[in-house]
Structure 1
Amino acid sequence: MRTQVAIIGAGPAGLLLSHLLHLRGITSVVLESRDRAYAEGRVRAGVLEQGTVDTLVAAGVGDRMLREGMPHHGIELRYGGRGHRIAFEELVPGRAITVYGQQEVVKDLIAARLRDGGDVRFEVTDAAVHDAATDRPYVTFGGERLDCDFVAGCDGFHGVTRPSIPAGVLSEHRRDYPFAWLGVLARVKPSSEELIYARTDRGFALHSMRSPEISRFYLQVAPDEDIANWPDDRVWAELRTRLETVPDFELATGPILDKSVTPMRAYVAEPMRYGRLFLAGDAAHIVPPTGAKGLNLAVADVRLLTDALARWYATGSADLLDSYSEACLKRVWSAQHFSWWMTTLLHTFDTDDPYGRRLQLAHLDQVTSSRAAATTLAENYVGLPFDSSGSTGTSSGTRSSVMPK
């Protein structure tokens, strides 16, 4: 078999890359180790930046998102017995976030690829990348061989593409936080129209949602927390304690559909390229989920990679391929900083450090009382605009050249 771009991983990054390349007349094959039901059902991120929304709409895969997604024009920071709204419509006019689950984005992209005759293969075994440092890379899987011009590693943090890069090529930056998130999905109407980020002396809590009928909650817990220690009654009791801290707020409860514990960590591998193997999304970087940047960074990577590959096929120029890693990492490190900032702003670190707690509260007071500080939060939360190369920029344009000419 032969294709122009072999894509390993059928998450949002891999599927969107395949779709955008198709719009530019470039062929691809997507290889995924999991089955389709798993890919379409795994509940993960749900906050889409303005630029991500605009990208999906411009690519023709945003119709259901526009119908069913929930646009939000602010978030609430809750601490010290009061709630403080960060109003996007006032601070960053015309920009917002949309709550729409990652699994829904995946469903839309799979449907689009299959509708357009795309080659997406699930339950692939033993995928491996070969000769990435040459101009004739190929991928083997399940006893088959796929020759290609380029390989895109979109297979997540635990995938096979990044480990296929020889030792010593990548610089790897890591940070592990001294806590984890207990995530809860419940069949209950959200108790708030917008996300609530709550800082308490007992730890952080987040009230989010996935639909008008499904709510998503997170609790800061110990990094080695055993999910068995959290029966439903304890989960709801702790959520009430951390969220019912302002007058007249009552947390609605209902059947819990899913519970899991996620470590809080950060990771960046650089460069995001080895020869003709290009990494995108979680294969190259992960962020703590406090800033809601993971999926959105993957979309930003894919925009840049699409433009770079399209330039190469159209003109033979490798200039955008050569600058891909640097351009991606500019935005990646900006998102790493914002995610670290949000995490340190809202979580309990050392309960025996009253000095640190007072500094944290002073910082929260500044964010909620200073328009300049609140604007910085809002700008980063809704997503920094893309410049003409798709990287972090200051212009207001959101449509990039990843769309067909």
Structure 2
Amino acid sequence: MRTQVGIIGAGPAGLLLAHLLHLAGIDSVVVEARDRGYVEQRVRAGVLEHPTAELLREVGVGARMDAEGLPHHGLVLRFDGADHRMPLTELTGKTITVYGQQEVVKDLIARRLADEGQILFASTDVRPHDLTSDQPRITFTDAAGKPQELRCDVVAGCDGFHGVSRRSIPADRIQAYERLYPFAWLGILAKTPPSHEELIYAYHERGFALHSMRSPELTRLYLQVAPTESLADWPDSRVWDELHARLELAGSEFSLREGPVVDRLLAGMRSFVVEPMRYGRLFLAGDAAHIVPPTGAKGMNLAVADVRLLARALTVFLSGGGSALIDDYSRACLRRVWRAEHFSWWMTSMLHAFPDDDRFGRRLQLSQLRYVVESEAAGRSMAENYVGLPYEF
């Protein structure tokens, strides 16, 4: 097989990149290890920044998002036994949209197939080769068990943190920066209407909790837990008891609604960035290049920002317009990546209970929370980072 851009990974990054390239007249093939059913059902992020939602509309894949997504004009910080609303739209003029990552993926797959683009699902043993040449290739075994080779001009590694793309780069040609956090998130998806119309970030002495949602009928809830725990340690009854303890407010009308748990996950938390995001003709995008703790709701949004830049750079390069944009790709992406890394670290550090924290550390967290909600300047800074900074280029 032959194409211009071989894309490894059919997550939001890979699929959106393929769509953007298609709109620009650039051919691509997406190679994905999982089958279509798995890709469309895996539950991940759910908050779209304002620039992300705008881009999806601009490129013709935002209709269902606008019909079914939930626009939000604020969020709640719950601490000191009270709610403190952050008026995102009032402070920034922008909104966020709650719309599940798997829904974005479904929309992109449907559009890709309608455009007669190729997505090679259930492709195993995927390997990129000859990345420093002008004719890289990707080998894999297709869904029928037949060995295949895809020759291309460029390879886009959009296959996530555990994918093969980043691991194909020699260790001495890339620098990794990482911070591990001493806790994990336990998340459930419950078949019950949300208990509040907005997201609630709860700071509690027992640990952080988050009330979110995926639709008017589905609620997403998270608990901070020890990184050594397993899902078996947390039967549904224990999860609900802990959510009640961390989210309930004395004297408040808030009441946590319970319902059947339809999905559960346990995820460790880390910050991770590699520099540069390019090796020869291999370009990394999304989680293949960087990970943020989910507190700041930046993961999928960073992936979208990456491929927006990458699509433009590759279009110019493959159309004979020179290599200036692809040469600048890593630097341009990393400016936004590091800003999002800092914001996500800041939110995480402010809201979580640290195992070795003393009373002094907790007082510092509460002081920061109070400043954010009492100072218009501090609140605006948080709000503009949360809703998404404008694209620079």
TM-score by length of structure 2 reads 0.97
2:123 alignment partner in structure 1:
124
> Which SS does the other structure have where 2:313 is aligned?
helix
Supply the distance in 2 between the matched residues of 1:8 and 1:78 (Cα, whole angstroms). 41
Supply the distance in 1 between the matched residues of 2:304 and 2:279 (Cα, whole angstroms). 20
2:215 alignment partner in structure 1:
211
2:204 aligned residue (179, 200, 206): 200
2:144 alignment partner in structure 1:
none
Q: Which runs of 4+ in 1 moved over 4 A?
A: none
Determine if contact 2:31/2:121 at 8 Å carries over to the other structure: yes
Answering whether residue 99 of structure 2 is matched by residue 92 of structure 1, we say: no
1:133 alignment partner in structure 2:
132
Supply the distance in 1 between the matched residues of 2:249 and 2:368 (Cα, whole angstroms). 19
Larger mean CA deviation between 348-357 and 142-151 belongs to: 348-357
1:297 aligned residue (294, 302, 309): 302
- Equivalent residue runs for 1:236-275 within 5 Å: 236-246=240-250, 247-275=252-280
RMSD after superposition: 0.8
2:311 alignment partner in structure 1:
306
Supply the distance in 2 between the matched residues of 1:43 and 1:232 (Cα, whole angstroms). 18
Supply the distance in 2 between the matched residues of 1:179 and 1:258 (Cα, whole angstroms). 20
Answering whether residue 119 of structure 2 is matched by residue 114 of structure 1, we say: no
Instruction: Give the aligned residue type for 2:29.
Output: V
Supply the distance in 2 between the matched residues of 1:264 and 1:132 (Cα, whole angstroms). 31
Q: How far apart are 1:316 and its partner, in Å?
A: 3.0
Q: How far apart are 1:234 and its partner, in Å?
A: 0.9
- Equivalent residue runs for 1:349-368 within 5 Å: 349-350=354-355, 353-368=358-373
Supply the distance in 2 between the matched residues of 1:34 and 1:280 (Cα, whole angstroms). 19
1:225 alignment partner in structure 2:
229
Q: How far apart are 1:230 and its partner, in Å?
A: 1.0
1:277 alignment partner in structure 2:
282
Determine if contact 2:182/2:355 at 8 Å carries over to the other structure: no
- 1:106-127 Cα shifts (integer Å, max 9, x gaps): 0000000000000001000111
- 1:105-153 Cα shifts (integer Å, max 9, x gaps): 0000000000000000100011111110111111111111111000000
- Equivalent residue runs for 1:11-90 within 5 Å: 11-90=11-90
1:315 alignment partner in structure 2:
320
> Which SS does the other structure have where 1:129 is aligned?
strand
Instruction: Give the aligned residue type for 1:336.
Output: E
Instruction: Give the aligned residue type for 2:249.
Output: T
> Which SS does the other structure have where 1:108 is aligned?
helix
Q: How far apart are 1:229 and its partner, in Å?
A: 1.4
Supply the distance in 2 between the matched residues of 1:313 and 1:140 (Cα, whole angstroms). 22
Determine if contact 2:12/2:303 at 8 Å carries over to the other structure: yes
Supply the distance in 1 between the matched residues of 2:120 and 2:259 (Cα, whole angstroms). 37
Supply the distance in 2 between the matched residues of 1:220 and 1:129 (Cα, whole angstroms). 38
Instruction: Give the aligned residue type for 1:207.
Output: H
Instruction: Give the aligned residue type for 1:117.
Output: E
Instruction: Give the aligned residue type for 1:96.
Output: T
Q: How far apart are 1:197 and its partner, in Å?
A: 0.1
Structure 2, unaligned stretches of length 5 or more?
142-146
Q: How far apart are 1:351 and its partner, in Å?
A: 5.8
1:178 alignment partner in structure 2:
182
Answering whether residue 5 of structure 2 is matched by residue 5 of structure 1, we say: yes
Instruction: Give the aligned residue type for 2:315.
Output: A
Supply the distance in 1 between the matched residues of 2:52 and 2:323 (Cα, whole angstroms). 26
> Which SS does the other structure have where 1:21 is aligned?
helix
